[in-house]
Amino acid sequence: FDAMGVIGSVDVLFDAARVAIEVDGRAYHGVDQFQSDRERDNRLVGAGYVVLHFTWEDLLHRPDVVIHQVRAALSRSKNAQYPL
């Protein structure tokens, strides 16, 4: 939530740590979706969230990098309650 209400949905949310994760794919990112995703991301950042973006290729071929970046974001949170 922010001053405008519900911000939107993300693929993975660690709400207590204020970390949002998006898996981006070309199939779902037409002009309208691309625009709304940017607006949502900006609102999330404005509300104090870190927003991480990964591609499907990242998940398939670089899972170690994805895990490292997610753990790093979670560990920086003052509210981190997740086992790393």
- Cβ proximity of 50 and 18 under 8 Å: yes
Whether the model clears a pTM of 0.85, i.e. scores above it, the answer is no
Quote the tokens at residue 59: 């998940």
Tens of pLDDT along 14-55? 999 999 999 987 766 667 788 888 999 999 999 999 999 999
Looking at the DSSP bridge assignments, the partners of residue 13 are 20
Identify the DSSP state of 11. Answer: S
The pLDDT of residue 84 is above 60: no
- Cβ proximity of 2 and 12 under 8 Å: no
**44-55 in b/e burial notation, b at 16+ Cβ within 10 A?**
beeeebbbbebe
